[in-house]
Amino acid sequence: MIKRIGEHPDLELIGLHCYTPEKVGRDAGEIAGLDPIGVTATGTIEDIINARPDVLTFHGVFPDEALYEKVLEAGINIVTTADWITGHHRNQNHPHPSGRKVSEVLQDACLRGGSTFYGTGMNPGLNQILAIVHSADVSEIENVTVIESVDVSCHHSVDTWKEVGYGVSVDDPSIPGSLEKYTRVFADSVYLMADCFDLELDEVTFSYELGACTKDVDLGWYQLPKGSLGANYIKYQGLVDGIPRIESHLEWQMTPFTSPSWDIKGCYITQISGDPNIYSKHMIFPKPGVKLDNPEDFASIGMTVTGLPALNAIRSVVEARPGILTSADLPLRGFAGRFKV
């Protein structure tokens, strides 16, 4: 995102906050593997506030809600790709130390500072926006299902996969709880779509299938012993009178050598049952000339499509009312990319 901010006509990078002490004091471009850009990394919230940015764009694996609160009450907007779509998930699964709901804490910080907070990403995030758009020409909707069908071995976030349970024996009773806890933000995506469809859900349920590795797998950056979790199929289903109406599915594969295994399609799928029926694939390819010689190149594409929905929304977030926003609150232009100038 340091590279993408530098290329974005709406944006100027004026600071970089890092949690790793070894990065503090170094040039942001150097840290990102680019030429120096004249922005020095810092390591305190005070440095963020003193820089007086319009927006802090936060792309950590997990939220830093203590940082969020201080930044928001200082009048600085936040756009993030870290585990936030509506706030349902954080409220239920990650209690705030104060005992209050996290969404209440952040909303109050926004109101004190006159700032705005928005969470998005590729999935959850853009994938649900695509589902809403695809429904525009459908009458009498019966079911909306979005599916992420991807090989996740290019997403080199060791902390993420440890928390989810990849590499742990599929017989370990902790796996279902870990899978649910650390994917529960996808329940938020169901609530977001329900909000846009003006549909009140009775509940959002979680179900899963586990794929066990049929042999030892060494990915170089991650090891998966035989019998450990190497793939999964998760469903978050929004029910009305016991009938699934809005669903978010995660068809993930770290390796094809699992039992059971799934037909990974490498795309995002929207299925709408109604009149008429809709089936759409959102497929992502590198631009011509970009080499994919190593796993890091694939990972870069994934990071790009996750982060850009946040960067492209910044102008609309700055112009929005104070408080917590969801994608249901943004104008269509809030989802638009930018032409190369």
The first and second tokens of residue 28, run together, are 């942001």
Residue type, 178: S
pLDDT means over runs of 10, the chain (341 residues): 95 96 97 96 96 96 94 98 95 92 98 98 96 97 97 84 93 94 93 98 98 96 96 98 98 97 96 98 89 73 93 98 98 94 76
The CATH number for 218's domain is: 3.30.360
Instruction: Summarize pLDDT for 250-301 with one digit per residue, the tens.
Output: 999 999 999 999 999 999 999 999 999 999 999 998 888 887 777 677 778 8
* Co-location of 50 and 91 in the same domain: yes
Tokens matching residue 99: 């005992």
d(CA 16, CA 6): 13
How confident is the model over 58-75, as pLDDT tens digits?
998 889 999 999 999 999
Is 264 domain-assigned?
A: yes
Cα 289 from chain centroid (whole Å): 27
Domain identity same for 99 and 137: no
Asked whether residue 186 is assigned to any structural domain, the reply reads yes
Please report whether residue 288 resides in a domain.
no
Q: Residue 161 belongs to what domain range?
A: 123-283
For residues 196 and 328, give the distance between their C-alpha atoms in angstroms, rounded to a whole number: 6
Same domain, 127 and 273: yes
Alpha-carbon separation of residue 280 from 162, 183, 191, 236, 317 (angstroms)? 32, 24, 21, 19, 28
Q: What is the predicted pLDDT for the residue at 295?
A: 66
| Global pTM value | 0.93
Q: How far apart are alpha carbons 341 and 334 in whole angstroms? A: 19
Distance between CA atoms of 206 and 303, rounded to whole angstroms?
26
Single-letter residue type at 321: R
Together in a domain, 318 and 238: no
Establish if 341 belongs to a structural domain.
no
Are β-strands 139-151 and 267-275 bridged in parallel, bridged antiparallel, or unpaired? antiparallel
Structural domain count, the chain:
2
- Considering the domain architecture, whether residues 185 and 326 belong to the same structural domain is answered as no
Same domain, 264 and 245: yes
